[in-house]
Chain A
């Protein structure tokens, strides 16, 4: 945990559908790499956290301290990928759905 970078970046997370009780009706996949975003969006933000212009301004305002109580920008998913899920519906028919935004590809400060 300690050697993970402090700055906003993608962290590994594997989701096992058995852990959330969905394996009863999900045929495939049994688990998938979802990842998550975590880390600081402190001023000055490095380019790698791909801050939006708004996040840049917000972090400067916070650093200067003009307005009290302004939080740091948030480290959130930027690019995400979809996941095909094969499952049984209530009538026990097999259904395939391709859900968007199920896995994190990159993180950014927003």
Chain B
């Protein structure tokens, strides 16, 4: 067994991963951001397993999957009963071990009063010391989804009274495997001390939970990551938040692609056309097909004589430096 953080988490945070009220932050982000003190025990436990098994090559419990199941609390015949819905397990997941984690404190029976006798002067009233703490029993039942019965008793364990309040873990692998084999994926657990529960129990940071270590046989299949992680957003309501602006996208993702500003400029020098001049309908070559190696060999510039032969307009089109006639040059010099 392991001892939990002694201080109870504030009730509001006890919802664990139920998700922040802030629509902008996803439950995944909320869960990652909460400090261990604010999360419920199952989240703290799973984060600890993640840190342990996300190191290279480590295998959780000899498998590749750990599923946690939170309890749903109901009061049946004035007793607190915790229900666990195991339906999210995949058929390809072979159960290796299953453990039930619960927090228990010693249950002292109420002390009995003894009438005082005033025989001797200094007799003092005293109370009988309370009896030994009550023994508790863990009862597990399984039932299929839509039956109203209490379900089939799958196991009962006597619990030695704990010396103080602490978390304990019990192996319930056989119970879970038998229930799954019979297709009864709703499990109930009852901590029974024989006494009626005082007041209405509530789910707090000390709520019990189940961990199932499994080996997912489909995880090495191609695209297995998409099977479990590529899905709609399970927390996004069908319609946007009532307060949200009509066109606000609830999608918190930051767009990274920058819009092209204006017409795309290419990097070619103006007038240095790559297409071979003799074939007017030459197919459009992509530049890297014409430049076999990344650095393009520079073309030798034509000598001054044969440049003049080409005639003024062609020269003007293909030259790289602008030239002006004599008159314009004189004006420019004067200025």
Residues of A within 8 A of B (CB): 2, 18-19, 21-30, 81-100, 102
Contact = CB atoms under 8 A, between A and B. Distances in A.
B251 A82 contact: no
Contacts of A94: 17, 31, 42-43, 46, 68
A81 B59 CA distance: 13
A66 B58 CA distance: 49
* A-B complex: 9 closest residue pairs judged by Cβ atoms: A84-B54, A24-B26, A94-B46, A96-B66, A86-B50, A24-B233, A27-B31, A98-B64, A94-B68
Contacts of B236: 24
Nearest to B54: A84
16 contacts: A21-B233, A22-B229, A22-B230, A23-B253, A24-B235, A28-B54, A84-B50, A88-B234, A89-B88, A93-B88, A95-B67, A96-B50, A97-B219, A98-B60, A98-B219, A100-B219
B60 to A, nearest CB: 6
Contact of A18 (B19, B231, B235, B254): B254
Contacts of A90: 88, 231, 234
Contact of A99 (B29, B59, B219, B230): B219
Contacts of B26: 23-25
B229 A24 contact: no
A25 B54 contact: no
Contacts of A100: 64, 219-220
Contacts of A82: 56-57
Given A84-B54, A90-B88, A96-B53, A19 B253 contact: yes
Given A27-B32, A96-B49, 16 more contacts: A18-B253, A25-B27, A27-B50, A82-B57, A84-B50, A86-B47, A92-B70, A95-B88, A96-B46, A96-B53, A96-B65, A97-B219, A98-B60, A98-B64, A100-B220, A102-B225
B251 A21 contact: yes
Interface residues of B, number: 51
A46 B18 CA distance: 54
A106 B49 CA distance: 28
Contacts of A93: 67-70, 88
A30 B32 CA distance: 9
Contacts of B234: 24-25, 88, 90, 92
A2 to B, nearest CB: 7
B229 A87 contact: yes
A83 B57 CA distance: 9
Contacts of A98: 53-54, 58-60, 64-65, 219
Contacts of A21: 233, 251, 253
A90 to B, nearest CB: 5
Given A18-B254, A24-B236, A95-B67, A88 B28 contact: yes
B31 A99 contact: no
A95 B66 contact: yes
Nearest to B65: A97
Nearest to B68: A94
Nearest to A103: B56
A23 B18 contact: no
Nearest to A6: B294
A24 B27 contact: yes
B27 A91 contact: no
Nearest to B210: A93
Contacts of A87: 28, 228-229
Contact of A29 (B43, B53, B54, B228): B54
A26 B228 CA distance: 11
B20 interface: no
B93 to A, nearest CB: 10
Nearest to B33: A27
Interface in B2-18: 17-18
